[in-house]
C-alpha cells in the first residue's frame, strides 16, 4: 500500500518534521498560557486601561486570520525593524517568528477562556477570601484560579488542540513542520500525493489523540470531593 | 466611655440611585452581641458588609477597632484579619480540605507556620464538634457542618469581632440548632458579634441588643426584652407579628 510505502520511505524526515511541530506547539502553548492568564486577569481586573488593552489585543487577534498574522510578524516586522538592526535570523529565524505568532494568537483565545473561568467562580469565594484578610492577588491565586482552572480545563484542552493544528498554517513562512514536509515530499513524488497527505494527516491525528488522552488524565487528577 | 469596637456614624450606602442605607449610626462595645433583624431588603446585610468594606460606603463613617474603614490609607487587609465573617452560603473553598480551608489565611498571611496552623485548625474543629472531618472536602459535609467549618475558618485568624450574615438561612431546619449552639458558645466566651438573623429565638436568648431595621433605617433598638416584649414602633410590631 502506498500509504505504508510513503510512511516507511520518508519516516526519518517526518520524524524531524514532527519534532518541529511538537516544539512549535509546546513553546507556543506555554507562552500562550502565560499571555492568557495576564490578559484574562486584565479583563476581570475592573481597571479600565487594563481592560481596554486586553480588549484591543483580543479583538485584533480574533478579527484577523492566523496566516495574515504570521505574514505581518515574519515579513512585516522584519521590514519595519530592519533599520534598527533587527532580523529574525538573529533570534532563531522563522521558527521564532512562528512561535511568537502562534503564542499571540492562542494567547488571545486563552485570555477569553480564563476570563470566563474566573467569572464562573461564585462571587462568594472572593468575598470569603478577602474577608479573611487575603489581598486580591493571593485570593486570586489560591482560591479563585484553582477553581476556575478546573472549569476551564476542557476549553483549554480544546484550544491546545486547535493551536496544535494551527501550526500547519505556520508552514507558510517555510518552517519544515509536518505540513511543509508534506508539501516538499509531494512536490517530488506527485504520483503518490494522496498517500503522502494521508501520512501527514495520520501524524496530526496521533499527536491530537495523545494530547486528548493527557488532558483526560489531568482532568481526573484534578477532581476533588463533590 | 466603654471600649467601643465598632462605631458607625451617619452611614449611607447607595447602589446606583437606590438608597439602601439612609443614615445609620450605632456603636458596638467590646464583647457585645448585637442582632440585626428586619424584613428582607431592609439593608441589614448591606450594613454588615459595610463593616469590613465588602461594600464601599457612600457616605458617613465606620470605625472598627480604631481604624477608619473607608479611609483609603487604612490597610483594609490588616483590619479584616481582625474581623471574622460568616456567610449565608458558607463560601467554603471547595478545592481545599476542611483543614486547608482553615489554615489557608493564617499560613498565607504568615501568622503561623504550617504545623501550628494545622494544630490550631484541629483545636477549632474540636470546638465546633468536627474534629473527625479535618481531611474531607467541603462537598462531603452537610450544610450545618459546612457552616461550623466556616465559623472555625473565620476564627483561625483570632479575630476580635465576628460578623454573621444570616448564618442559618440556607440550612435545613434540623441543622439550625447545631450552628446556633456554636454561636452561643462564642458569645458566652466574650466575642464581639454582629449577627444578621431571622432566628428570633436566638436573638432573644443571646443578644445583648437587638436592632430592628427597615427600609434602610434603624427603626428601633433595645434589649431583647424591650424589642420582643414591648416594641414601641408600629413597624416593629407589624414585623414581629408576622415572624413570631
ipTM score of the complex?
Answer: 0.92
With CA atoms as reference, report the closest residue to B140 among A188, A4, A226. A226
On average, the pLDDT of chain B sits at 94
> Which residues make beta-bridge pairs with B212?
B37, B220
**Which structural domain, as residue segments, surrounds residue A70?**
2-225
For A135, nearest residue in chain B (alpha carbons): B77
Q: What's the domain count of chain A?
A: 1
Tell me the per-residue pLDDT of B72-125, one tens digit each, with 9 for 90 and over.
Answer: 899 999 999 999 999 999 999 999 999 999 999 999 998 899 999 999 999 999
Q: How far is A126 from chain B (nearest CA, A)?
A: 9
Q: How far is B140 from chain A (nearest CA, A)?
A: 6
Q: Walk across the sheet containing B83-86 and list its strands.
A: B83-86, B161-165, B192-196, B33-37, B209-214, B217-222
Q: Does B124 touch chain A (CB under 8 A)?
A: no
Are A132 and B137 within 8 A, CB to CB? no
> Which residues make beta-bridge pairs with B9?
B61
Nearest CB among A125, A127, A225 relative to B140 is that of A225
Tell me the per-residue pLDDT of B168-227, one tens digit each, with 9 for 90 and over.
Answer: 999 999 999 999 999 999 999 999 999 999 999 999 999 999 999 999 999 999 999 999
Query: What confidence category does residue B150 fall into, taking pLDDT thresholds of 50, 70 and 90?
Result: very high
Residue among A132, A134, A145 with most chain B CBs within 10 A, to mutate: A132
Tell me the per-residue pLDDT of A144-195, one tens digit each, with 9 for 90 and over.
Answer: 999 999 889 889 999 999 999 999 999 999 999 999 999 999 998 888 999 9
Q: How far is A129 from chain B (nearest CA, A)?
A: 8
For B157, nearest residue in chain A (alpha carbons): A132
Mean pLDDT of A202-222: 89
With CA atoms as reference, report the closest residue to B64 among B160, B153, B155, B151. B160
Judging contacts by C-beta atoms under 8 Å, the chain A residues touching residue B112 are none
Residue among A46, A117, A121, A128 with most chain B CBs within 10 A, to mutate: A128
CA distance A84 to A110: 32
**CATH code of residue A109:** 1.10.3720.10
Q: Which residues of B208-233 are buried (b: 16+ CB within 10 A; e: fewer)?
A: ebbbbbbebbbbbbbebeebbeebee
Q: What angle do CA B80, B116, A141 make, to 5 degrees?
A: 50
CA distance B227 to B212: 8
CA distance A201 to A179: 9
Please give the C-alpha separations between residue B196 and each of B32, B56, B86, in angstroms, as whole numbers: 14, 19, 10
With CA atoms as reference, report the closest residue to A101 among A186, A45, A50, A173. A173
Beta-strand (E) ranges in chain B? 4-15, 18-29, 33-37, 59-64, 67-68, 83-86, 161-165, 192-196, 209-214, 217-222
The predicted structure's pLDDT at residue A224: 63
Contact B5, B65 (CB under 8 A): yes
Tell me the per-residue pLDDT of B119-143, one tens digit each, with 9 for 90 and over.
Answer: 999 999 999 999 999 999 999 999 9
> Which residues make beta-bridge pairs with B210?
B35, B222
Q: Walk across the sheet containing B18-29 and list its strands.
A: B18-29, B4-15, B59-64, B67-68
Q: How far is A214 from chain B (nearest CA, A)?
A: 21
CA distance B86 to B74: 23
Query: What is the pTM for the complete model shown?
Result: 0.86
Are A128 and B87 within 8 A, CB to CB? yes
Residue among A133, A137, A150 with most chain B CBs within 10 A, to mutate: A133
CA distance B130 to B141: 10
CA distance B215 to B202: 23
Q: What are phi and psi of A86, to 5 degrees?
A: -90, 135
Amino acid at each position: 500500500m502506498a500509504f505504508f510505502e510513503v510512511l516507511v520511505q520518508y519516516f526519518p524526515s517526518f520524524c524531524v518534521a514532527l519534532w518541529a511541530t511538537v516544539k512549535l506547539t509546546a513553546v507556543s502553548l506555554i507562552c500562550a498560557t502565560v499571555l492568557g492568564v495576564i490578559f484574562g486577569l486584565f479583563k476581570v481586573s475592573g481597571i479600565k486601561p487594563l481592560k481596554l488593552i486586553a480588549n484591543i489585543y483580543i479583538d485584533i487577534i480574533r478579527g484577523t486570520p492566523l496566516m495574515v498574522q504570521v505574514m505581518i510578524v515574519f515579513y512585516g516586522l522584519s521590514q519595519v525593524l530592519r533599520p534598527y538592526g533587527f532580523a529574525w535570523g538573529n533570534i532563531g529565524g522563522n521558527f521564532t517568528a512562528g512561535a511568537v505568532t502562534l503564542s499571540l494568537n492562542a494567547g488571545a483565545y486563552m485570555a477569553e477562556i480564563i476570563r470566563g473561568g474566573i467569572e464562573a467562580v461564585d462571587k462568594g469565594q472572593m468575598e470569603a477570601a478577602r474577608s479573611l484578610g487575603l489581598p486580591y492577588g493571593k485570593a486570586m491565586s489560591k482560591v479563585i484560579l484553582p477553581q476556575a482552572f478546573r472549569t476551564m480545563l476542557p476549553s483549554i484542552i480544546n484550544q491546545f488542540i486547535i493551536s496544535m493544528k494551527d501550526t500547519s498554517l505556520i508552514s507558510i513562512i517555510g518552517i519544515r513542520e509536518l505540513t511543509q514536509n508534506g508539501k516538499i515530499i509531494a512536490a517530488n513524488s506527485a504520483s503518490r500525493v494522496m498517500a503522502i497527505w494521508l501520512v501527514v494527516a495520520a501524524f496530526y491525528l496521533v499527536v491530537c489523540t495523545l494530547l486528548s488522552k493527557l488532558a483526560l488524565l489531568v482532568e481526573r487528577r484534578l477532581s476533588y470531593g463533590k | 466611655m466603654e471600649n467601643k469596637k465598632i462605631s458607625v456614624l451617619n452611614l449611607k450606602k447607595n447602589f446606583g440611585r437606590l438608597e439602601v442605607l439612609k443614615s445609620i449610626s450605632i456603636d458596638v462595645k467590646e464583647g457585645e452581641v448585637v442582632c440585626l433583624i428586619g424584613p428582607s431588603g431592609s439593608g441589614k446585610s448591606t450594613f454588615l458588609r459595610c463593616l469590613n468594606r465588602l461594600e464601599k460606603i457612600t457616605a458617613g463613617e465606620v470605625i472598627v477597632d480604631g481604624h477608619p474603614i473607608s479611609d483609603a490609607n487604612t490597610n483594609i487587609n490588616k483590619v479584616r484579619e481582625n474581623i471574622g465573617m460568616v456567610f449565608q452560603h458558607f463560601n467554603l473553598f471547595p478545592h481545599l480540605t476542611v483543614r486547608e480551608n482553615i489554615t489557608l489565611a493564617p499560613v498565607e498571611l504568615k501568622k503561623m507556620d504550617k504545623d501550628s496552623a494545622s494544630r490550631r485548625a484541629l483545636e477549632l474543629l474540636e470546638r465546633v464538634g468536627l474534629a473527625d472531618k479535618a481531611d474531607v472536602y467541603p462537598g462531603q459535609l452537610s450544610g450545618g457542618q459546612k457552616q461550623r467549618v466556616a465559623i472555625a475558618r473565620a476564627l483561625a485568624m483570632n479575630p476580635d469581632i465576628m460578623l454573621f450574615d444570616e448564618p442559618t438561612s440556607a440550612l435545613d431546619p434540623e441543622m439550625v440548632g447545631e450552628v446556633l449552639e456554636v454561636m452561643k458558645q462564642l458569645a458566652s466566651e466574650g466575642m464581639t458579634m454582629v449577627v444578621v438573623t431571622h432566628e428570633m429565638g436566638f436573638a432573644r436568648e443571646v443578644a445583648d441588643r437587638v436592632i430592628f431595621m427597615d427600609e434602610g433605617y434603624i427603626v428601633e433598638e433595645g434589649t431583647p426584652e424591650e424589642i420582643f416584649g414591648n416594641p414601641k414602633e408600629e413597624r416593629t410590631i407589624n414585623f414581629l407579628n408576622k415572624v413570631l
